Amino acid sequence: SQQGEEDPQALSIQEGENATMNCSYKTSINNLQWYRQNSGRGLVHLILIRSNEREKHSGRLRVTLDTSKKSSSLLITASRAADTASYFCATDVAGSNYKLTFGKGTLLTVNP
């Protein structure tokens, strides 16, 4: 079964607005990661948050983690057209033998 589920599946906003994507998971994790994928390209790692952390920032990105609810959110502030991409959460499940389990992704479109 899918470990990570992103919500929404697709999000369309105007440049300058904030974009929030959510991820839910089912089992205990070591960490949760967010990746970005431009159309037809490989994935790029954005940010990692450990299970004992609640919030993390990197530039215009803010990630939160609520292990009691088994959920995470990714906030992109002051979005740009270049932020248009698919965003995936990935969980490092305890005992997973170096594997990540990816969610289905959120397709973000930022309109200029």
Rounded Cα distance between 100 and 68, Å, is: 20
* Cβ 85 vs Cβ 33: under 8 Å: no
67 binds another protein (CB under 8 A): no
Task: Read off the tokens for 1.
Answer: 């079964």
**Residue selected from 20, 22, 31, 64 as contacting another protein according to rule CB under 8 A:** 31
88 binds another protein (CB under 8 A): yes
| Least distance in angstroms from the C-beta of 104 to another protein | 5
Cβ count near 88 (within 10 Å): 23
The minimum distance between CB 99 and another protein, in angstroms, equals: 6
Query: Residue 54 CB, nearest distance to another protein (Å)?
Result: 17
Q: Where are the alpha helices (DSSP H) in the chain?
A: none
45-64 positions binding another protein, by CB under 8 A: 45, 48, 50
Beta bridge partners of 12: 109
Q: Does 25 bind another protein (CB under 8 A)?
A: no
44 belongs to the binding site for another protein (CB under 8 A): yes
Peptide bond into 112 cis (omega under 30): no
| Least distance to another protein, CB of residue 58, Å | 12
